[in-house]
Amino acid sequence: MKTVAVISVITFVLIFGGVLFISMQLGNSANAIALPDLAPEDYEAAERVFADMAVERDRIQREKEELVLLRQNVAVQDKVLQDSRKQLEAVISKLEAKQSDYIQERERSATRLAKMYEAMKPAQAAPIMGALELEIVLEIMSRMKERQAAKILAKMDPGFAAQVSTHLSARGSTR
């Protein structure tokens, strides 16, 4: 048993010594590779490169932040634009509805006036219609029966009657 212990101790010493020897050799070669001989100017140049890289990194970071702010501003402006567009579309819709109502009321009014002037004697209707604006007369006459419109035209001032006739024929006459 003594021999086994002696052999074990000798084996241990040899293995441990070999490991130490190999580690020292590897450490020396690692030191030789890791620290190349550089001149002080090389270290200064490397420091300038690192400083330039830090400045560039900071500039890129600022530009990223500015870009984020710009995107946020664009999103806000887009939202405002969309809201304004919706409001404008609502106003346009209201105006179109009011315009439609106005046109319908104007149509009803012109039809009522046409019936009223048709009921009058041509000698009474002609001077009144002669005092109206041409567009109003045209709207009324275009809704009257042709026979009654002709009788009223015959009693109007000849120059005004000619204007009315010309415009009515361009429009497509009366009913």
In a domain, 143, yes or no: yes
In a domain, 20, yes or no: no
Torsion of CA 14, 20, 26, 27, to 10 degrees: -170
Domain around 51: 46-171
CA distance 12 to 111: 125
pLDDT at 37: 66
In a domain, 5, yes or no: no
CA distance 135 to 20: 117
In a domain, 89, yes or no: yes
Tokens 């620290």 locate to 35
Number of compact structural domains in the chain: 1
Indicate which CATH number applies to the domain containing 75.
Answer: 1.10.220
In a domain, 118, yes or no: yes
In a domain, 34, yes or no: no
Tens-digit pLDDT string for the chain (175 aa):
677 777 887 887 778 777 778 888 777 665 555 556 667 777 788 888 888 898 999 999 999 999 999 999 999 999 999 999 999 999 999 999 999 999 999 899 989 989 999 999 999 999 999 999 999 999 999 999 999 999 999 999 999 999 999 998 887 644 5
CA distance 13 to 48: 51
In a domain, 31, yes or no: no
In a domain, 35, yes or no: no
CA distance 76 to 99: 34
